[in-house]
Amino acid sequence: MREDDSNWFPRWEEELPPPEELMPLSQTLITPDLAMAFDIRDPHHHQIPQPPPPSSNPLPSPSNPTQPNSADFADSAELGSGTAGDEPARTLKRPRLVWTPQLHKRFVDAVAHLGIKNAVPKTIMQLMSVDGLTRENVASHLQKYRLYLKRMQGLSSGAGAGGGAAAAALAASSDPATDHLFASAPVPAHFLHPTARPNSDHFLPFVPVPATLQHHHHHHHQQHMAAAAVAAAHPQLQPQYHRQVGHFGSPPNGSFEHPFLSRQPQALHRMGGAPMQHNPVSGYVEDMESANAAGGRKIQSTMVSIL
């Protein structure tokens, strides 16, 4: 009963955030109005450029991840009044969310560390901590992602060589163009291997649970929720920072939960905000592994034991 749904949140932090990049997603979602206001680009030419693609190394230099000084802009605080007469977001429809490789990477990381079992839209969304990202966004993407995984399962039996990405390239056999985004993010082997449980079993100091999310009772086989708390405990993943924090110095000991948490950009709220992204193909791959699968597919030379 608790063999796998209670010991997943153990020290995920130790292995979750790959040092590669912790929070390059700061500017993940930008409202069109905001973008316009900032002169980023014309809404008509929906070809939003990438703000931080300096030269070739999108890799962030989070010398200090603890301080998410989102070099970008997207300050939730004043988004509401940035543009004139567009506050009512609830009734406005957001532009389509563009899943950039970075965003997807975040998604995959969240899913990977949550485990397929616990990877449900809400939890994933919370773990991703991307402001503006809605549960629907994640749900939709998750659906597609699942199909992708399933597809690959049928074609890759034991090709566990460090990466579904490789398998993807093989399975796809039709260029990464078929997998687009998915090829850009390494698929954890366990995803295709329900039998294995890479989830480390360690402990997290304490897991604060958002009071607003503390409601769950009946259910037999689904997920439990609590991961969000983990994310909250680690602002490293927070692309956006909030200034209104209670400032708490919680000792890393037997604390079970904290009554308050603030991770969602309430300041940003669902205002006319709309998730806007940069070009999905422009600043593609940022990882070398993904680069392999996405750009040059020359990895399929060795593995042939697929039957």
Chain residues in the site for DNA (CB under 7 A): 93-94, 96-99, 120-123, 135-137, 139-144, 146, 180-181, 213, 215, 219-220, 222-223, 275, 280
Residues 6 or more apart from 69 whose CB is under 8 A from it? 241
Identity (one letter) of the amino acid at 68?
P
Residue 301 CB, nearest approach to DNA (Å): 26
The CA distance from 57 to 134, in Å, is 29
CB atoms within 10 A of CB 46: 13
Give whichever of 140 and 236 is closer to DNA, judged by the CB atom.
Answer: 140
Q: How is residue 114 written in tokens?
A: 């949550």
Give whichever of 93 and 298 is closer to DNA, judged by the CB atom.
Answer: 93
Residue 146 CB, nearest approach to DNA (Å): 6
Render 201-245 in DSSP notation, one character per residue: ----S-----GGG------SSS----HHHHHHH-GGG-SS--S--
Residue 95 CB, nearest approach to DNA (Å): 7
Output the CA angle 64-65-70, nearest 5 degrees.
100
Residue 104 CB, nearest approach to DNA (Å): 8
Give whichever of 126 and 238 is closer to DNA, judged by the CB atom.
Answer: 126
Give whichever of 68 and 239 is closer to DNA, judged by the CB atom.
Answer: 239
Give whichever of 68 and 275 is closer to DNA, judged by the CB atom.
Answer: 275
